[in-house]
Amino acid sequence: MTINWHWIFAHTDQFWDLTKQHVYLSLVPIVIGTVAALVLGLAAVQWTWLHTPLLIATSIFYAIPSIALFVVLLDFTGLSSATAIIPLSLFSLSVLYRNVVGGLQSVDPATQQAASAMGFGRARRLLQVDLPIATPVILSGIRIAAVANVSMVSIAALIGLGGLGQLFTEGLQRFFMTEILAGIVLIMAVAFAIDGLLVLTQRRLTPWAAR
């Protein structure tokens, strides 16, 4: 198999544009899913009766194939970024909800009682005690969802939503292996880069864990 290096160097601008689009479609759902998971997770920990129905709902989101949601949303959102962002946000929520609840439930009650005894109110204890302790668990879920999203955004190219998956569809149509390989390498690079940034973020937010 011969790689056409001339074609690769001639299309660097296209690679850059597709990579930016791919990163956007991957990260926006992570932000939305994280915010939603934090809100729902905090509610489920506060009112435990909510946990079971929320767990069932998020499990349903996880079970639905992303390509099916892409196709269904086409009638409502058309070939816009929302067609990819909405399903991937639901997927991110389904992954992160479990991590948020698990992380918050892992906080030692004795630690919470000590914080309350020191005069911490509920909101202050949440921000300065509970969430910092839960951060490693939450960020591990974010890493999983982020890398999965980078992969699933590639599927969006099948219905014309762009991203690096476009290199797959065009390469297959033309039986041009160089274009397909370029897409694989770039998607892997994006996944490794995002995961690396999240690892650095976790070390910055939880320096005690790094030590």
Check residue 138 and report its DSSP letter: H
Tokens describing residue 162: 């762009």
Q: Indicate the burial class of 113 (C-beta count within 10 angstroms; 0-12, 13-18, 19 or more).
A: exposed
Give me the pLDDT at residue 160, please.
74
pLDDT above 90 coverage of the chain, percent: 32
Q: Write the pLDDT tens digit of every residue in 170-205.
A: 888 888 888 889 999 999 999 999 999 999 988 887
Helix 165-174 vs helix 177-205: crossing angle, to nearest 10: 170
Confidence label for 210 from pLDDT (cuts 50, 70 and 90): low
Beta-carbon contacts of residue 133 (< 8 Å; ≥ 6 apart): 103, 106, 107, 111
- Measure the CA–CA gap between 98 and 75, rounded to whole angstroms: 31
107-115, long-range: CB < 8 A, 24+ apart: 107/133, 107/134
Between 130 and 43, whose confidence is greater?
43
Percent of the chain residues topping a pLDDT of 70: 98
Burial classification of residue 65, based on how many CB atoms lie within 10 Å of its CB (0-12 exposed, 13-18 middle, 19 or more buried): exposed
Which residues lie below 8 Å from residue 77, measured CB to CB, with a gap of 6+?
A: 83, 86
Classify domain 11-204 at the CATH topology level.
MetI-like fold (1.10.3720)
Question: What are the pLDDT digits (tens) for 1-32?
Answer: 578 888 888 888 999 999 999 999 999 999 99
pLDDT in tens, 36-78: 999 999 899 888 888 899 999 888 888 877 777 887 888 788 7
Check: CB of residue 88 under 8 Å from CB of residue 32.
Answer: no
Task: Report which of residues 51 and 118 the model is more confident about.
Answer: 51
